[in-house]
């Protein structure tokens, strides 16, 4: 998902409530809808699953329609027993070896260093998988791949543009997964996408392509049990999100149910580059770390090596998305991105910005 991600919250019903596109067409976008609403950032009462802010033009929320993920699972291929994995189930996930790659959880636990997860939008260029190889060789511990979607409610302007570019090129879930299957990667792949695509295509297809982690930011915690069970059955870690507004009790539940890592959203906003790391990021990371033994990765707005180092000190690592995708949109090659990721890697390892000529991912703030 991605540092270019939105007014956010955690895995709350309101988070996803504004994002439930009940139309079967996964490419549907309401006219004029370009404001990616975050899980809970736009909801002043993030624990209220029925809240919808005035002016919200998105499709009726899951909670408001009464159609739960379990209801829709019949048509979306999510048929696993939703009671098979409950809150507090500590069974280790992510230990599966898929397509020659270690599972997400096992790989991150074995890294022994601050974790770096760079992002790329699948299909953004004809040679997009070359960015995956460049990231891997530059020191990524895992790679987040965004499946382009026409209603990216959690994503800011840069990731929206990257998704639009990929869709205009004809990228589809089928083509992206085929590309992943054909790419010789050692590091885990974490797919970031939205509920509609998972309901339509199911989780098993991701596993068949070697995916070992999944982030679904518009999935309410209250509706996630069938997805958790289906992901576990496929050997995929379902990563849940926590935000600064997440209440302590809910945070404990998110930490108990997340697999692979917990994604700490640094701001109640969409993704996008920022001049400084959000002030609440350190406090949030500390709260999450107190509630889980899983790695805690900080994301949303991490734009420079110095910010990545700060995120690594606060948590266990960083997710970087918009800063990288903005450069790709500006024409950066895989070799260019390798230098940028290497600078992030060095900063995380040192705990400070290395001060090299490529240490700042500078330019337009999208």
Q: What pLDDT does 155 receive?
A: 73
Q: Does domain 94-350 have CATH number 3.20.20.70?
A: yes
**DSSP H helices in the chain:** 13-17, 62-65, 69-76, 104-110, 128-138, 157-168, 173-181, 195-201, 204-208, 225-234, 248-257, 281-291, 305-314, 322-329, 334-350
Q: Quick one: average pLDDT of 100-125?
A: 90
Closest CA to 193 of 19, 18, 24, 51: 19
CA distance 9 to 284: 11
Q: What pLDDT does 138 receive?
A: 98
10, 15, 20, 144: which one is catalytic?
144
CA distance 331 to 50: 43
User: 145 near 192, Cβ under 8 Å?
Assistant: yes
Q: What pLDDT does 275 receive?
A: 52
A 10 A CB-CB count for 279 gives 10
> Is 310 labeled as catalytic in the residue annotation?
no
Q: Quick one: average pLDDT of 264-290?
A: 72
Q: Quick one: average pLDDT of 296-309?
A: 90
Q: What pLDDT does 11 receive?
A: 61
Lowest mean pLDDT among 53-67, 212-226, 290-304, 349-363: 53-67
4, 20, 141, 155: which one is catalytic?
155
Can you give the residue ranges of every domain in the chain? 94-350
> Is 218 labeled as catalytic in the residue annotation?
no
Give the confidence band of 300 by pLDDT, cuts at 50, 70, 90: confident
| Residue-wise pLDDT tens digits, 13-24 | 334 333 333 333
Give the confidence band of 169 by pLDDT, cuts at 50, 70, 90: very high
Q: What pLDDT does 311 receive?
A: 87
Residue scoring higher pLDDT (54 or 117) = 117
Residue scoring higher pLDDT (64 or 130) = 130
98 forms beta bridges with 101
Has residue 43 got a pLDDT over 60?
no
What does pLDDT average to over the chain? 74
Q: Angle CA(35)–CA(37)–CA(38) in degrees, nearest 5?
A: 145
Please give the model's pTM, rounded to 2 decimal places. 0.73
Write down the residue that tokens 């792949």 correspond to. 189
Has residue 262 got a pLDDT over 80?
yes
Residue scoring higher pLDDT (256 or 201) = 256
Both tokens of residue 152?
A: 């990216």
Q: Which residues have C-beta within 8 Å of that of residue 338, sequence separation ≥ 6?
A: 134, 135, 137, 138
Rg (CA), the chain: 18
CA distance 63 to 60: 8
Both tokens of residue 279?
A: 């002030």
CA distance 310 to 360: 14
CA 5 to the chain's CA centroid: 8
| Residue-wise pLDDT tens digits, 24-34 | 333 333 333 33
* Residue 159, φ and ψ in degrees, nearest 5: -70, -35
Closest CA to 143 of 151, 135, 134, 152: 135
User: 217 near 192, Cβ under 8 Å?
Assistant: yes
With left for phi above 0 and alpha for psi between -120 and 50, is residue 277 left, alpha or beta?
Answer: beta
Q: Quick one: average pLDDT of 222-249?
A: 94
Give the confidence band of 170 by pLDDT, cuts at 50, 70, 90: very high
Has residue 90 got a pLDDT over 70?
no
Residue scoring higher pLDDT (324 or 81) = 324
Has residue 321 got a pLDDT over 70?
yes
Give the confidence band of 303 by pLDDT, cuts at 50, 70, 90: confident
Q: Which residues have C-beta within 8 Å of that of residue 355, sequence separation ≥ 6?
A: none
Residue scoring higher pLDDT (363 or 297) = 297
CA atoms within 13 A on the CB side of 312: 23
Give percent of the chain above pLDDT 90. Answer: 52
Q: Quick one: average pLDDT of 89-98?
A: 38
CA-to-CA dists, residue 336 to 137, 160, 285, 333, 341, angstroms: 13, 22, 31, 5, 9
Q: What pLDDT does 157 receive?
A: 81
């Amino acid at each position: 998902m991605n540092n270019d991600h939105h007014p956010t919250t955690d895995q709350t019903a309101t988070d996803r409530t504004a994002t439930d596109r009940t139309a079967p067409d996964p490419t549907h976008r309401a006219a004029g809808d370009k404001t990616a609403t975050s899980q809970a950032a736009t909801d002043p009462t993030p624990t209220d699953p029925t809240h919808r802010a005035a002016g919200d033009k998105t499709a009726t929320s899951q909670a408001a329609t009464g159609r739960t993920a379990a209801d829709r699972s019949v048509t979306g291929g999510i048929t696993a027993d939703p009671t098979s994995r409950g809150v507090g189930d500590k069974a280790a996930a992510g230990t599966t070896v898929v397509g020659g790659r270690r599972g997400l959880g096992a790989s991150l636990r074995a890294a022994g260093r601050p974790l770096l997860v760079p992002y790329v939008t699948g299909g953004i260029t004809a040679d997009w998988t070359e960015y995956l190889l460049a990231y891997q060789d530059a020191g990524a511990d895992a790679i987040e791949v965004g499946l382009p979607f026409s209603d990216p409610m959690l994503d800011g302007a840069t990731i929206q543009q990257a998704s639009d570019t990929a869709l205009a090129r004809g990228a589809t879930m089928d083509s992206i997964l085929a590309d992943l299957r054909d790419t010789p990667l050692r590091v885990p792949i974490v797919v970031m996408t939205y509920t509609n695509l998972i309901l339509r295509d199911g989780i098993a297809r991701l596993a068949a392509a070697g995916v070992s982690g999944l982030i679904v930011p518009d999935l309410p915690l209250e509706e996630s049990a069938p997805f958790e069970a289906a992901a576990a059955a496929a050997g995929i870690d379902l990563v849940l999100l926590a935000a600064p507004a997440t209440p302590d009790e809910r945070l404990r539940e998110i930490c108990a149910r997340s697999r692979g890592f917990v994604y700490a959203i640094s701001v109640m906003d969409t993704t996008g580059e920022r001049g400084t790391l959000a002030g609440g990021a350190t406090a949030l990371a500390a709260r999450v770390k107190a509630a889980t033994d899983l790695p805690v990765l900080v994301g949303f707005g991490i734009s420079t090596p110095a910010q990545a180092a700060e995120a690594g000190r606060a948590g266990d690592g960083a997710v970087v998305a918009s800063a990288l995708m903005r450069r790709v949109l500006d024409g950066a090659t895989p070799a260019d991105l390798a230098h940028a990721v290497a600078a992030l890697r060095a900063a995380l390892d040192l705990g400070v910005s290395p001060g090299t000529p490529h240490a700042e991912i500078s330019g337009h703030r999208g």
